Structure 1
């Protein structure tokens, strides 16, 4: 029986309470991480496999233990190739260089602006860490699975063979196999339930959020990041002073009954399954909506969201191209 070590922030099939999330950040800053780890864990959990789904930091510090106790390492990832993640890339590459077992990476991506630009002062360090990480993966497997054409082009430009870089999208969208159970409403009821998700650092989402909360009484804000959860639990404001973004407890998004923060995939899917439509900048928030059967519109604000929306043919608009009149649901659908 193959012994598979699956890298996750928290075993997605195990319940987790809000106190533990706040104390230990087991969502890895964003509950969107649960989407692809949940799908990967379910896909691998066949009777013939012995799957250990854990946070791998301590195990990767002892590669000899990994070599002895497992037969394969699987790493479902997201926007891994970025400046804020260089230490993790280096740490994981160092561990993999000592592995004697196969490694499979699923859905890894780069991070850049919508125009594909990375800040000049970050580019060299990110490229160096990315080369080391990808080289270690390809020395232990036939290919690496990336989330879109942007990331594939990035790795090819770094010198890797195009035939060993497979565009596979995000593992989360294979939860139901090759399809999603989509139910299209005949029309959007302005009084009915709707969902919006926001990256609270994307300034352009401020007026979109405020306008849709004002216009649609059934609009619910779905929070995803650890700072928003701490705001809900402890009342701690997020960094920034934009009054239109959900940064403070007195924002209209946090009015009674208007915010949901899911801590498991079944709850997340159940809540979004009750909505007519989901929209916003959070790629996994909208993917989970599709998995729940609810249509979604991605408001792409960077390369990572845009390449996934394009690859999986998810309805999307580039947020930089939206006109002031295109703020409400009825203008976007």
Structure 2
């Protein structure tokens, strides 16, 4: 092993995906994700079942990540893990495992904020990957989070706005549930929206101050709208599915883009990086492409595997913290609520 090669084993277990990755400096050598299928029958993530599945998955996933990277655990420089935010039971599994392994190997332990990792995933070195320069605006949109963050440096970030209730991914999934679509329904809304008219059904935009978001009112208005229409016509969803999905997607994307435009105006920063599972949505990608053309923005979207929850994004933060010797001691505990820069 060369002296300048830093090998980080990273562990991510904040929600319902168990993931382990190995990075050599900024390069990903492996990124293994075990997705939990059990939640589909419940129409959403069940925390108790998630933590049990993590316990079953973590050893094989870590083993696979080391094997794929062709690295012996004795070669590891440090272990990085998600401390929070997330589901407490899920976080405890990853935290306990990382602490034990770091202690056993007598190597440093590095705690990572899940939200910071979504933002810094842009710095994983990949072919044809353009990385943003500081400062830039990051919009993290996922099943559990919606945030706009001003990123001044790897570890200097200011939250400009965030959701006051539900996250954008949850708004997509719950809307899909109202339409009788299986979980996770967000990607299905995106799929059906391609063939629909986005202006067919106007939904109200929530009035929220400054750069914060709210999606609970929108979900309620979609629910009441569908209930009213199906009362008059029991086949309403079936007959109008594509138009309903297109209208929901158009409304959500419009809410996100309106706030993002406000953030650009407020900060003067035109470099926009997005992350989180919802950044895979074709509507948001199209809107960002248009903003590049019409507003002179430069937009950064990571590879799809780095948008959803994965350990490679934990690994890149681990590497950057390792360089600055930002280590954690064995007294560390998982944190369900964990704000960036705390």
TM-score range, shorter chain: 0.3 to 0.5
Structure with the higher fraction of residues in strand conformation: 2
Which one has more relative contact order, counting CA pairs under 8 Å at least 6 apart?
2
Report the TM-score when normalising by structure 2.
Answer: 0.32
